[in-house]
Amino acid sequence: MNIPDIIIAIDGYSSTGKSSFAKVIAKEFSFLYLDSGALYRGVTLFAIENGFISDDNTIDVPELTSAMNGLDLHFGPQGTYIGERCIEKEIRGLAVAGKVSPIATVPQVRAFVDSKLREFGKKKRIVMDGRDIGTTVFPQAELKIFMTADPMVRAQRRAAEMPGASIEDVLKNLEERDYIDSHREVSPLTQAEDAVVLDNSDMTMQDQVEWLKALISERFSINQ
C-alpha cells in the first residue's frame, strides 16, 4: 500500500495498546515510530533519582525546571536514553508509572517534551503516540486516531507485561492516570474533533491494522 507523507497521531487512555499498534503500523508503512510517553517517563525517572518529587508526589518545580536545562533525554538504538545510559527498563516499572502523571501536569515539563517532539514533525512519515499529539503537539496531523478499550481488558494486558504486579494494583494505577491525564489544566487528554475512535477491546492487532488500512484508503483515495 502506497502511504502518502503524513503524520499519524495516536492518542488515548493508558494501556489501550497505542504503542504496540503504532509500532506495527510504523513497520508496515516504513514510518518512524515515536513514543511521547517515554519522554514523560524519562523526565519522571530523572525527577525521582534527583529528589525533585517526594513520596507524596510533591514536585519541586523550580529545581526540576532548572535541572532540565542539562537533561540530555533522547531516543537511541535500544529505546530511551539519558546521555549514554539506556533507561528503557527503569521507565516501564511501577515506580515511574506511579509518578509520571503528576510530572506530566507541570507546564515546564510539557514545554520541554513538546519541543523535542516537534523537531521530529519536520520530517513527516512519522507515527507518534501519546495523550495530546492530535490536539497540541501536531494539531495539523493528517490522520488522528483516538484509542480506547474496556478498563479491565487494559489492566489484564498491562499486568501480563509486569511480572509480580496484581491486576488490582495495575487497574488502580490506570484509573488514577486516566483521571489525572484527562483533568489536568495543560493539554488534557481529550479526543481531537477530527480524530477517529478505535475501541480495540475485542480486536486483534491484525483487525486493527486492517481497520487502519481501510481508513487510509478511504481518506486518501488509495487503492489497496
CB-nearer residue toward ligand DC: 14 or 200: 14
User: How open is the CA angle 131-137-140, to the nearest 5 degrees?
Assistant: 115
Shortest distance (Å) from residue 40 CB to ligand DC: 4
Which grid cell is 155? 489492566
Binding site for ligand DC (CB under 6 A): 14, 36-37, 40-41, 100-101, 104, 130-133, 177, 181
Query: Rounded to whole angstroms, how far apart are CA atoms 48 and 80?
Result: 16
177: nearest Cα among 154, 161, 202: 154
Amino acid of residue 90? E
Shortest distance (Å) from residue 154 CB to ligand DC: 11
Coil, strand or helix: which one is 153?
Answer: helix
Shortest distance (Å) from residue 182 CB to ligand DC: 10
CB-nearer residue toward ligand DC: 6 or 129: 129
Query: Rounded to whole angstroms, how far apart are CA atoms 119 and 122?
Result: 6
Residue 170, judged by CB atoms within 10 A of its CB (0-12, 13-18, 19+), counts as: buried
CB-nearer residue toward ligand DC: 1 or 201: 201
Shortest distance (Å) from residue 129 CB to ligand DC: 7
CB-nearer residue toward ligand DC: 78 or 214: 78
